[in-house]
Amino acid sequence: MTSRDRLKNKFLIWFFEGIRQRGKEKETHQDWWPKVMCLTGVDYFSTLGYQPGIAYLAAGLLSPVATFILIFLTLFGALPVYSTVSRISPHGQGSLSLLSRLFPGWRGKTFVLVLLGFACTDFIITITLSAADATAHIVENPLIQQAVPAMMLDRVVITLGLLGLLGMIFLTGFKEAIGLSTVIVSFYLVANAITIGVAMDNLFHHPELFSTWQTRLTSTYHSIWPMIGMSMLVFPKLALGLSGFETGVAVMPHVRGNPDDTQENPAGRIKNTRKLLLTAALIMAFMLMTSSFATSFLIPPEAFVEGGDANGRAISYLAHSLMGHTWGSIYDASTIAILWFAGASALAGLLNLVPRYLPRYGMAPNWSAAMRPLVVFFLVVAFAVTLIFKANVDAQAGAYATGVLVLMTCDSFAVTLTYWKISQFKRSAFAVITCVFLYTLIANIIERPEGLHIASFFIAAILASSLLSRTVRSLELRIQKVSYDDVAESFFQEALLKEGEISILSHRPGGMEYSAKEAETRRVHKLTPEEAQLIFLEVRVQDASEFIDNVLHVTGHLVDGNKVLRCHSSAVPNAIAAILLDIRDRTKTIPHAYFGWTEGHPLGYVFKYIFLGEGEIAPVTREILRAEETDPEQRPKIHVS
């Protein structure tokens, strides 16, 4: 082997690391919860850059009141929901895990695929929109405009470069991504604290600004209730202030727990994740409230409108106007950094969700179980989305809000169902939260229906690719291990002692009587009892929508003198093939399996096999064996009549 070949092999092993861990819980890099908070914070905290401007455009004078309602919903709506989700789904799947347990079978799988479509919409658009927004801050910075020729400030090219850089960091690993996010978030929060602190100091020295705002507010709204009512009406437009909070659960597998945590009960990780969520919510609440007052009082209304200097960059406007262009450029650098890296938490969420579902459902290629190929795949998708929308922030905002709100609505709905029979108070409280999120979602869809259109494309793409992958991978062995009880083991030992080989007779559970089935098989194949001691094998389909069986448990039974092996699996041919290969490896003999032909249309049996786990058992079993064992001499023998 040449040095070039060795280098190629090392690269392939590194690039596809994780594929061989299929069916096992893969190890993930874990870190101190404040550092992981920074990974989710690059998305959540980055909304500070544009949220004050959105609030003023939506609510005007009521911007601080509307922002307070947003904070209230975060602390008493989103925070309780995701604190509960972290407890009942501690491995980062969120409502996908909860709802898949509540709705088993193909109905649950379809529901999960649709939610994955919305999750991909949320996370992919987070990646592309944030990079495009970072690009907007780059090209609109006064110092950069003076120093760089306009022809070099192409938004699409810069956005693609930022996305490529993000992907390169994730190819190196999660540890590096978490470390960089800690630096970026710390820099950004300090820059915001200084800028907002100077702005609030300015307000304290000019109390007449507050008095003027209060006078204008009370002359328009004569009591607090009209203010709250109007703020509630415009609240859906502020919903992007919640975006990123949902990723706090998505990155949960990276939160370090206690040494005595187990896979089934990671109590330390759950506790630390709740600290993460609470701390992030409190930091954001303080920043949003103070920035709302500062921007509403210190920025002229005309600066917020499209084309205005504060449009989409209200705090940056304050940094430049109150502290000069040098500090303003430093603040812009922090904003550009966090917006560019805001896609990190979204990419982490995708890398956690997709391998846990699509490969297990047989609805993605084998390489999707590895992290780095997925990073490249999602990067290609992000490139395509950027090119389609030409790195336009406004064109992607509708899909972003739709994806975020669908996930939050489903998460709160799943929590409501969880408490439905446990606690009437919690059931009612979470039902109210669900209704609020649902109202916000519907209002956003009505105002910006293109978000639903984009999400529908992602959903259709996932459903179509999942069905194609499931069909292509249907002939995989799927089963990782086969185990037998003592009775089943004794059947094999007795057969080996008498005939020196093992003969299996496939039998449909509840079908023809054993004696009649054996007599028919011996007559057709001209088998005498001395030539073959037949052992019946019955496979019951447990959940045909599942794809991988980690362990197939086979039990032995004596029924009216007949030896019967029984097991449960998601697909009959795959289970039979796994048992035959395992018998060969255990006994060092080639087993024989006897089947009967079934009547019906071939296409109908293809459908039954893919979706119901049955179909034409004999030829499918042979094809699985042929794919798994290329040497015909070592392949279990299939007899059909």
Does the pLDDT value for residue 1 go beyond 90?
no
Instruction: Give the single-character DSSP code of 255.
Output: B
Of residues 268, 277, 29, the one with CA closest to residue 172? 29
* CA angle, 274 then 276 then 279, to 5°: 105
Residue 19's φ and ψ, nearest 5 degrees, are -65, -40
SS3 state of residue 480:
coil
The answer for residues whose C-beta is within 8 angstroms of residue 573's C-beta and 6 or more apart is: 609, 615, 617, 620, 621, 624
Q: Are 79 and 281 in contact (CB under 8 A)?
A: yes
589, amino acid identity: T
Instruction: Give the single-character DSSP code of 636.
Output: P
Tokens of 102: 């509540």
Q: Are 320 and 330 in contact (CB under 8 A)?
A: no
The pLDDT value given to residue 273: 92
Q: Are 444 and 239 in contact (CB under 8 A)?
A: yes
| pLDDT-based confidence at residue 27 (cuts at 50, 70, 90) | low
pLDDT in tens, 433-452: 999 999 988 988 888 888 78
SS3 state of residue 635:
coil
For every residue of 360-411, DSSP letters joined together read TTT-S-GGGGSHHHHHHHHHHHHHHHHHHHTT-HHHHHHHHHHHHHHHHHHH
The pLDDT value given to residue 241: 80
Does the pLDDT value for residue 210 go beyond 90?
no
Tokens of 123: 């996370």
pLDDT in tens, 375-406: 888 899 999 999 988 888 777 877 778 888 88
Helix axes 343-357, 314-341, angle to 10 degrees: 40
Tokens of 547: 């794809």
Of residues 342, 370, 340, 341, the one with CA closest to residue 354? 370
Q: Are 635 and 589 in contact (CB under 8 A)?
A: no
Which of 182-186, 451-455, 573-577 is least confident?
451-455
The pLDDT value given to residue 438: 92
Average pLDDT over residues 572-599: 90
More confident call, 230 vs 563: 563
Does the pLDDT value for residue 631 go beyond 70?
yes
Of residues 144, 173, 526, the one with CA closest to residue 335? 144
Helices and strands in the chain, H and E counts: 25, 7
Does the pLDDT value for residue 538 go beyond 90?
yes
SS3 state of residue 248:
helix
Average pLDDT over residues 548-560: 89
> In the predicted model, what is the mean pLDDT of the chain?
85
Rounded Cα distance between 453 and 389, Å, is: 14
Does the pLDDT value for residue 345 go beyond 70?
yes
Task: Give the number of other CB atoms < 10 A from CB of residue 25.
Answer: 10
Q: Which CATH number fits domain 3-473: 3.40.50.300, 1.20.1740.10, 1.10.10.10, 3.30.70.270?
A: 1.20.1740.10
The pLDDT value given to residue 577: 93
Domain boundaries, the chain: 3-473, 476-640
The pLDDT value given to residue 23: 45
Rounded Cα distance between 425 and 270, Å, is: 23
| Residues listed for the chain | 641
pLDDT in tens, 234-272: 877 787 788 777 777 877 888 898 888 887 788 899 999
Q: Are 138 and 357 in contact (CB under 8 A)?
A: no
User: Percent of the chain, pLDDT > 70?
Assistant: 96
pLDDT in tens, 302-312: 888 877 878 77
pLDDT in tens, 450-499: 878 888 888 888 888 888 888 888 888 888 899 999 999 999 998 888 88
Tokens of 424: 């009437």
SS3 state of residue 310:
coil
Does the pLDDT value for residue 641 go beyond 90?
no
